[in-house]
Amino acid sequence: MLSNLAKLIRYRGLIQSLVARELKARYRGSVLGFLWSFINPLLLLSIYTFVFTVVLPNRNPIAQPYAVFMFCGILPWNWFSSSLMEASGSLVAGGNLIKKVLFPAEILPIVNVLANMVHYFLGLLILVAFLVGYRHWPDPAGLAWFPVVVLVQLIFTTGLALFLSALTVHYRDIRDLLSNLLMFWFFATPIIYPWQDDNVRQYKWLFDLNPFTHIAVSYQEILFFPGPVGHAKWLLALGAASIVIFLGGYWFFDRLRDSFAEAV
Amino acid sequence: MNAIELDHVTKIYRRYSGRQFATLKSALLQRSILRDLTASETFPALTDVSFTVPKGSTYGVIGRNGSGKSTALKLVAGITKATSGSVKVEGRISALIELGAGFHPEISGRENVFINGIMLGLTKSQIQERFDDIVDFAELREFIDAPVKTYSSGMYMRLGFAVAIHVDPDVLLVDEVLAVGDEGFTHKCLDKFAEFRRRNKTILLVTHSLGLVERFCDEAVWIDEGRVMGHGDPKRMVDAYLTAVEKGEEQLLATTTAKAVEAARKGDGDRPHPVDGVAPGHARGAGSSDDGSEADGQGAPTETAADGETQLQNMFEATEGRWGSREIEITDVTLIDHAGEPSFVFHSGESMSVRVTVNAHAAISDFVFGIGLFNAEGVCCYGTNTYLEEMTPVKIEGTVQATFAIERLDLVEGTYKLDVAVHKRDGFPYDYHRLLYTFRVKSRTHDAGIYRPPHRWSFEGRVEFTDEVDKLT
Q: What is the pLDDT of residue B384?
A: 93
Q: What is the pLDDT of residue B470?
A: 56
Per-residue pLDDT for B32 more than 70? no
Alpha carbon of residue B70 to chain centroid: 18
Pairwise CA distance, residues B471 & B463, whole Å? 19
Q: Average pLDDT of B27-32?
A: 66
Whole-angstrom distance between the N-terminal and C-terminal Cα of chain A? Answer: 23
Mean pLDDT for chain B overall: 80
Cβ–Cβ of B95/A102 closer than 8 Å? Answer: yes
Per-residue pLDDT for A226 more than 80? no
Pairwise CA distance, residues B192 & B172, whole Å? 11
Per-residue pLDDT for B309 more than 80? no
Per-residue pLDDT for B25 more than 60? yes
Q: What is the pLDDT of residue B292?
A: 38
pLDDT digits over A176-195, tens only? 899 999 999 998 888 888 88
Q: Residue A168 in contact with residue A175, Cβ under 8 Å?
A: yes
Cβ–Cβ of B97/A101 closer than 8 Å? Answer: yes
Pairwise CA distance, residues A128 & A38, whole Å? 12
- How far, in Å, are A41, A110, B73 from residue A99 at the CA level? 37, 18, 12
Q: Average pLDDT of B370-383?
A: 89
Pairwise CA distance, residues B364 & B360, whole Å? 7
Residues of chain B with C-beta less than 8 angstroms from the C-beta of A263: 16
**Beta-carbon-side half-sphere exposure of residue B136 (alpha carbons within 13 Å):** 5
Cβ–Cβ of B22/A99 closer than 8 Å? Answer: no
The three-class DSSP label of residue B306 is helix
Q: Average pLDDT of B30-56?
A: 75
B127 vs B293, higher pLDDT: B127
Q: Residue B197 in contact with residue B231, Cβ under 8 Å?
A: no
Q: What angle do CA B454, B455, B461 make, to 5 degrees?
A: 175
Q: Average pLDDT of B93-112?
A: 80
**Sheet containing B396-406, strands listed edge to edge, beginning at the edge strand earlier in sequence:** B328-336, B352-364, B396-406
Amino acid at B263: A
Highest-scoring range by mean pLDDT, A115-129, A241-255, B79-93: A241-255
Pairwise CA distance, residues B458 & A71, whole Å? 90
Q: Average pLDDT of B317-327?
A: 76
pLDDT digits over A200-214, tens only? 788 888 888 889 988
Q: What angle do CA A79, A82, A86 make, to 5 degrees?
A: 135
Residues of chain A with C-beta less than 8 angstroms from the C-beta of B98: 96, 99-101
Q: At what angle do helices A146-170 and A66-93 cross, to 10 degrees?
A: 40
Q: How many CB atoms lie within 10 A of CB A158?
A: 24
Cβ–Cβ of A21/B111 closer than 8 Å? Answer: yes
Q: What angle do CA B336, B342, B347 make, to 5 degrees?
A: 60
Q: What is the pLDDT of residue B356?
A: 94
Q: Residue B92 in contact with residue B172, Cβ under 8 Å?
A: no
Q: Pairing state of beta strands B202-206 and B171-175?
A: parallel
Residues of chain A with C-beta less than 8 angstroms from the C-beta of B24: 167, 171, 173-174, 177
Residues of chain B with C-beta less than 8 angstroms from the C-beta of A18: 115
Taking the whole predicted model, whether its pTM rises above 0.90 is answered as: no
Q: What is the pLDDT of residue B358?
A: 93
Q: How many CB atoms lie within 10 A of CB A190?
A: 20
Q: What is the pLDDT of residue A71?
A: 84
* Residues 6+ away with beta carbon under 8 Å from A26: A115
Q: What is the pLDDT of residue B353?
A: 94
Per-residue pLDDT for A229 more than 80? no
B281 vs B394, higher pLDDT: B394
Q: Residue B145 in contact with residue B137, Cβ under 8 Å?
A: no
Q: What is the pLDDT of residue A173?
A: 84
Cβ–Cβ of B81/A21 closer than 8 Å? Answer: no
The three-class DSSP label of residue B143 is helix
Alpha carbon of residue B280 to chain centroid: 34
Q: Residue B165 in contact with residue B137, Cβ under 8 Å?
A: yes
B94 phi, psi to nearest 5 deg:
-130, 130
**Among A11, A16, A28, which would you mutate to test the B interface (most chain B Cβ atoms within 10 Å of its Cβ)?**
A28
Q: How confident is the model at residue B319 (pLDDT cuts 50, 70, 90)?
A: low
**Among B12, B107, B175, which would you mutate to test the A interface (most chain A Cβ atoms within 10 Å of its Cβ)?**
B107
Pairwise CA distance, residues B374 & B320, whole Å? 12
Interface of A with B in 26-85 (CB under 8 A): 28-29
Cβ–Cβ of B101/A171 closer than 8 Å? Answer: no
The nearest alpha carbon in chain A to B24 belongs to A171
Q: Residue B148 in contact with residue B154, Cβ under 8 Å?
A: no
Q: Average pLDDT of B118-135?
A: 86
Q: What is the pLDDT of residue B295?
A: 38
| Lowest-confidence pick of A1-5, A52-56, A147-151 | A1-5
Residues of chain A with C-beta less than 8 angstroms from the C-beta of B22: 170-172
Cβ–Cβ of B23/A171 closer than 8 Å? Answer: yes
Distance from CA of A206 to the nearest CA of B (A): 25
Q: How confident is the model at residue B268 (pLDDT cuts 50, 70, 90)?
A: low
The three-class DSSP label of residue B450 is coil
SS3 per residue for B310-343: HHHHHHHCCCCEEECCCCEEEEEEEEECCCCCEC
Per-residue pLDDT for B312 more than 50? no
| Lowest-confidence pick of A162-166, B74-78, B235-239, B297-301 | B297-301
SS3 per residue for chain A: CHHHHHHHHHCHHHHHHHHHHHHHHHHCCCCCHHHHHHHHHHHHHHHHHHHHHHHCCCCCHHHCCHHHHHHHHHHHHHHHHHHHHHHHHHHHHCHHHHHHCCCCCCHHHHHHHHHHHHHHHHHHHHHHHHHHHHCCCCCCCHHHHHHHHHHHHHHHHHHHHHHHHHHHHHECCHHHHHHHHHHHHHHCCCCCCCCCCHHHHCCHHHHHHCHHHHHHHHHHHHHCCCCCCCCHHHHHHHHHHHHHHHHHHHHHHHHHHHHHHHHC
Q: What is the pLDDT of residue A96?
A: 76
Q: How much is the ipTM here?
A: 0.72
Q: What is the pLDDT of residue B278?
A: 39
Cβ–Cβ of A173/B111 closer than 8 Å? Answer: no
Q: Number of Cβ pairs closer than 8 Å across A and B? A: 88
Nearest to A103 among B14, B27, B119 (CB): B119
Pairwise CA distance, residues A204 & B161, whole Å? 60
Cβ–Cβ of B118/A13 closer than 8 Å? Answer: yes
Per-residue pLDDT for B49 more than 70? yes
Q: Average pLDDT of B297-310?
A: 40
Residues of chain B with C-beta less than 8 angstroms from the C-beta of A262: 13-14, 80
Q: Average pLDDT of A144-151?
A: 88
Instruction: Report percent pLDDT > 90 for chain A.
Output: 23
Cβ–Cβ of B95/A103 closer than 8 Å? Answer: no
Per-residue pLDDT for B357 more than 50? yes
Q: How confident is the model at residue A87 (pLDDT cuts 50, 70, 90)?
A: very high
pLDDT digits over A115-129, tens only? 999 988 888 888 888
Pairwise CA distance, residues B235 & B220, whole Å? 8
DSSP per-residue string spanning B165-178: HTT--SEEEEES-G
Per-residue pLDDT for B305 more than 70? no
Q: What is the pLDDT of residue B140?
A: 86
Residue B358 DSSP code: E
Cβ–Cβ of A173/B25 closer than 8 Å? Answer: yes
